[in-house]
Structure formats: structure tokens, C-alpha cells
Amino acid sequence: MDVFLQQLINGLTLGSIYGLIALGYTMVFGIIGMVNFAHGDVFMVASFIAMVTFLLLTTWLGISSVVLALFIVLIVAMVLTGFLNWTIERIAYRPLRGSFRLAPLISAIGMSIFLANFVQVAQGPRNKAMPALFNEVIVLRSSETFDVAVSYKQIVIWLVTALLLLGFWFLVTRTKLGRAQRACEQDPKMAALVGVDVDRTISITFVIAAALAAVAGTLYLVYYGVVSFNDGFQPGVKAFTAAVLGGIGSLPGAVIGGLLIGLIETFWSAYFSLDYKDVAAFSILAVTMIFLPQGLLGRPDVEKV
């Protein structure tokens, strides 16, 4: 029972990070119907930006308050990553928006490879580590052999994920920008005819997705304390799987899918073979797609005539 509880805590934490990345996938897909396969590498770049900024603040500028340093790190990572994703949308996606459907996909894969290789050249192929932060834990259940504990950084990850989900749900459903996004999702041409700036709405959506990736990247760095140039691929694929599992286009579905993927991974690693945890996660996705092609909370596609 103790192992189950501890893995439940770990799975919810990992799933929350997947869910934050998946929110970026589902927001972009909901607007332009395109999967931004470079999003995982944007998340990785955000982790490196957070690490470099934190080290500059604490070692060069001498900021001793970890909370203040992390707040500044988060703002810097969101701004720079948002600018990066805005540039990617303008250069790699906007010119191909009216072309055949595979063109943006190929461009996204090319951008993903470019970002990974750029970071590898700039930072080197080895893992980069930063000092451990917030190692204090709350012991929930103690025994002679095993303590069930939750760390403060795990609680922060849960709270941030929940608050961002609520915040972006409100943004999409209750604000002028959200109405513009939903109009672009339904019919971009008609949205433009009624006065919606489609290009501006799509660019803002890419910036928002990058901000979510920056938050996820900062939390990932704080939680694991290490980042590598190839850390964008696997989390990106897992987050995309989470978005599809939850119903791509659904904000709550993205987070629920992320939590499910995280729980499947951690429980499989604890009770079965660690080598096959990815197989287990993707097998669950395959089964779900057979019986629920739209995902858990997704809406069936309606053909427009």
C-alpha cells in the first residue's frame, strides 16, 4: 500500500508536467488544426533558458532568495520562449497555412530537429544540472522500511497545473480573445469576414502555448534538476499522446490525459518492467482510440458541407 501511495504521488506530478505541455498542443490544434511537433523542443529550450537565467541570477548577480530568483526565471522563460514560438509561427507555419496538409507537418518536424541540434551545439551533448531546490518533504505515512512523502515542489506543480487549467479555460470561454479563438477554430474565413484578425489570433495562441511550455520547462527543471538537448522529444511525444488521449482540442482533456499517462508510467515502472513503461502508455492510447476515436473528452468531427 505504501508503494502504491508513493507512486500515485509521483504519477500525478509527472502527469501534471505532461498535462501542461499537452495544453500547448491542444490550444494550437484547436485553432488551426495543426499539430506543432516542435512544441516538445520549445519546452526543452524553455528548460535551458530557465537554467541559464537561474545560474546568472544566483551566481553572477548574487540573488540569494530562491523564490525571487525562480519568479524572475519564470518571467524571462515565458517572454523568451513566447518570442521564439512567435518567430516559429511566422517563419515556419504561416507561409504554409494554405498549402497541402503535409507541408506544415514537415516544417514542424524540421523545426524540431533544428531546435534540438541548435541547443546541442550551443550547450553541448551532456546533461546540464543545477542545484537541488525545495528538497523538504512532508511525510504522510511512516513505517520501518518505507516512508510515503510528498515534496513541496510536487505540491507546487499540482497547484500550478490546476490554476493554469482554470485560467486558460476562463480565457477560452469567457474573454474576447477566447471568442476569437473559437471563431477561428470553427471557420477562419468567416471569422475574418466578421472582423476577427485571424493572423493575430493565431500568433497570440502560439505565444500562449509557448508560455505554457515555459512554465512546464521551469517546473521540470526544478523537479528533476537536470536537462539535456534531447529532453524535448520524449516529453513532447508523451504530451501529444496525452492530448490525443484526453481529446485533442479539449483543455481539461489535455490535463486528464497527461495525468493518465503519468500514472500509467509510474505504476508500470513500480510493479512491472521499467523497460516497457512507454509500451504500456502507448498501448492504452491505442485501445482508447479504437473505442473512443475522439478521445476521452473530445468532440466528434463534424464534416462541413
Domains of the chain, residue spans: 13-232
**Average pLDDT value over all residues in the chain:** 88
Using CA atoms, how far apart are residues 75 and 21, in angstroms rounded to an integer? 17
What is the structure's pLDDT at 80? Answer: 96
pLDDT of residue 209 exceeding 80: yes
What is the structure's pLDDT at 73? Answer: 95
Using CA atoms, how far apart are residues 193 and 243, in angstroms rounded to an integer? 31
Q: What is the mean pLDDT of residues 240-260?
A: 90
95-111 residue pLDDT tens:
888 777 788 888 999 99
CB 294 within 8 A of CB 58: no
C-alpha cell recorded at residue 74: 519564470
CB 289 within 8 A of CB 239: no
CB 74 within 8 A of CB 215: yes
| pLDDT band, very low/low/confident/very high, at 46 (cuts 50, 70, 90) | very high
Using CA atoms, how far apart are residues 171 and 160, in angstroms rounded to an integer? 16
Q: Estimate to the nearest angstrom the gap between the alpha carbon of 263 and the chain centroid.
A: 16
113-135 residue pLDDT tens:
999 999 999 988 888 888 888 88
Using CA atoms, how far apart are residues 156 and 129, in angstroms rounded to an integer? 21
| pLDDT band, very low/low/confident/very high, at 18 (cuts 50, 70, 90) | very high
Using CA atoms, how far apart are residues 148 and 189, in angstroms rounded to an integer? 55
Contacts with 258 (C-beta within 8 Å, 6 or more apart), sequence order: 15, 16, 17, 18, 19, 20, 21, 22, 239, 242, 246
Look at residues 57, 34, 38 and name the one whose alpha carbon lies nearest to residue 46: 38
Residue 69 gets the label, from left (phi > 0), alpha (psi -120 to 50) or beta, of alpha
Look at residues 150, 112, 111, 114 and name the one whose alpha carbon lies nearest to residue 134: 150
Q: What is the mean pLDDT of residues 148-171?
A: 92
Q: Which residue has the cell 510536487?
A: 154
Q: What is the mean pLDDT of residues 20-27?
A: 92
35 in helix, strand or coil? coil
Using CA atoms, how far apart are residues 247 and 285, in angstroms rounded to an integer? 11
pLDDT of residue 305 exceeding 50: no
pLDDT of residue 221 exceeding 70: yes
What is the structure's pLDDT at 300? Answer: 63
pLDDT of residue 40 exceeding 60: yes
What is the structure's pLDDT at 132? Answer: 81
> Who has greater pLDDT, 293 or 219?
219
> Who has greater pLDDT, 124 or 213?
213
What is the structure's pLDDT at 101? Answer: 75
Q: What is the mean pLDDT of residues 194-205?
A: 92
46 in helix, strand or coil? helix
**E strand segments, 185-273:** 226-227
C-alpha cell recorded at residue 163: 490554476
Q: What is the mean pLDDT of residues 56-76?
A: 91
Neighbours of 97 (CB within 10 A): 15
Q: What is the mean pLDDT of residues 59-86?
A: 92
> Who has greater pLDDT, 15 or 303?
15
254-288 residue pLDDT tens:
999 999 999 999 998 888 877 777 888 788 878 88
pLDDT of residue 214 exceeding 70: yes
| Residue 12 exposure: Cα atoms within 13 Å on the Cβ side | 17
256 in helix, strand or coil? helix
Q: What is the mean pLDDT of residues 185-194?
A: 88
Q: pTM to 2 decimals?
A: 0.92
